[in-house]
Amino acid sequence: MDIEKNSLKPRRLLDSLKKILNLVIKAVLYLADSLLLLTKHEIKMPGSVLIIRIDAIGDFILWLDSAQHFKRIYPDKNIILLGNHSWADLANRLPFWDEVWELDRHKFSRNPRYRFLLLKKVRKAGFEVVIQPVCSREFPYGDAVVRISGAQEKIGSAGDYSNIHAIEKRMGDHFYTRLIPTNPQPLMELKRNAEFMCGLGINVKAGLPDLMPVLKGVKNPLHHVSGYYVLFPGAGRRIKQWPISRFAVLSDKIYRQCALTAVICGSPDEQDLAESLIPQRETPFINMTGKTNLIGLAAIIQGASFLVGNDTSAIHLAAAVSTPALCILGGGHYGRFMPYDVEPEDKRPLPIPVIHKMDCFGCNFRCRYPYPKNGPVPCIQKISVDDVLAALQPLIKTLNESI
């Protein structure tokens, strides 16, 4: 036990230093943003609504079933979505808003000129209503936009402390004219999104998002491949990434059981990861990592027999296009994004989580146990190939019976 504690000390010291640096950066950004408050603001777009949603792809997809109802709340208003550029191409295909403005999170936090011009654009637009429906608010991102907007009505979630320091949250709360109350009990994200819409005055249930209409007319880049499944080995953080060697062993075993070609997918940043996987495999594959946009990836997933991956946006894409998916899931956010909790009865396949249960689930990935540098946390490390293969058996059996 003493050895474990000693091994955690350097990591905790580094984490503390990072937190201090982040607080300094946020303070500088806050002061710089304040210059825009000196500029004149007037309502130039009466009846206009700005919705701020700049989190990750998976968060966006999980929000869509609730997001479609903004047109019901503001039927005669011009609705503009300020969205993350990583999913803006998908957002532009949806009828839930009139326009999409893109925000590059990296530039917004690292490029002072980019940040200033984007915030200036929002302020000069003169929105009447600004809404940030995110429960886990971020002080230097969504809260910062709300603060500078100058809107008459600024609505947000009372929120939690997952992405924000207590001091930041107290400050951020004052940027809003109205905060929608949140249930203090943990809720799956679909229910949390529905909760916010109910707070705006309409009765919404936690439904499964549906991207099938968006893909009508979209050609699958792999339309010529007769039978395949998607392998998604990447993850947003290394601590959530199942070992790549196990993906290799798993894919070989899947091929021997159902003879499907593995299609390796991921973002352009994950090309090295895919390249490291390929030499370890012995069975047929197609590497599509970084070779499609988000729409193309959704089309590939829609055409797949099933998907196997880490806790990433690909799992939520699969659910939204009715493709069975198996998620190798850690305990950090267990119950929030997975497993799915859908209120209306839905016959579409829900993602299947594979877990190694530990008493520390719900830690927000602030792991108290030692784990390898650039490696997964123990709750993911302890998931075996046989665990994943066993969870796949019902899908493989159904496929083999249909041949």
What DSSP line would sit under 249-302, residue for residue? HHHHHHHHHH-PEEEE---GGGHHHHHHHGGG--S-EEE-TTSS-HHHHHHHHH
Report which secondary-structure segment, H or E, holds 145: helix 144-149
pLDDT 10s digits, 200-235: 999 999 999 999 999 999 999 999 999 999 999 999
Of 283, 327, 326, 323, the residue nearest 305 (C-alpha): 323
pLDDT 10s digits, 75-92: 999 999 999 999 999 999
26 band by pLDDT with thresholds 50, 70 and 90:
confident
pLDDT higher than threshold 60 for residue 8? no
Kindly tell me the sign of the dihedral angle through the C-alpha atoms of 217, 220, 226, 230. negative
Q: Which residues of 57-92 are buried (b: 16+ CB within 10 A; e: fewer)?
A: bbbbbbbbbbbbbbeeebeebbbbbbbbbbbbebbe
**Rounded to whole angstroms, how far apart are CA atoms 39 and 169?**
25
- Predicted pLDDT at 317: 98
CATH number for the domain whose boundaries are 214-402: 3.40.50.2000
- Predicted pLDDT at 2: 43
Of 288, 300, 311, the residue nearest 377 (C-alpha): 311
- CATH fold of 42-207 reads Rossmann fold (3.40.50)
Which has the minimum average pLDDT: 192-196, 322-326, 361-365? 361-365
Of 295, 311, 296, the residue nearest 379 (C-alpha): 311
Q: Do 42-207 and 214-402 fold alike per CATH?
A: yes
- Predicted pLDDT at 9: 63
Contact 127, 49 (CB under 8 A): yes
Q: Which spans in 176-235 are helix H?
A: 189-199
pLDDT 10s digits, 105-117: 999 999 999 999 9
**Rounded to whole angstroms, how far apart are CA atoms 54 and 51?**
10
CA dihedral 352, 357, 360, 366 (to 10 degrees): -50
Peptide bond into 339 cis (omega under 30): yes
Q: What is the pLDDT of the chain when averaged over all its residues?
A: 92
What is this structure's pTM?
Answer: 0.92
- Predicted pLDDT at 6: 47
* Range of 2-16, 25-39, 268-282, 321-335 with top mean pLDDT: 321-335
**Sheet with 352-354, edge to edge strand ranges:** 285-287, 261-264, 228-232, 307-310, 325-328, 352-354
DSSP single-letter state for residue 204: -
Domain boundaries, the chain: 42-207, 214-402
Which has the minimum average pLDDT: 230-239, 243-252, 394-403? 394-403
pLDDT higher than threshold 60 for residue 4? no
Mean pLDDT of 233-240: 92
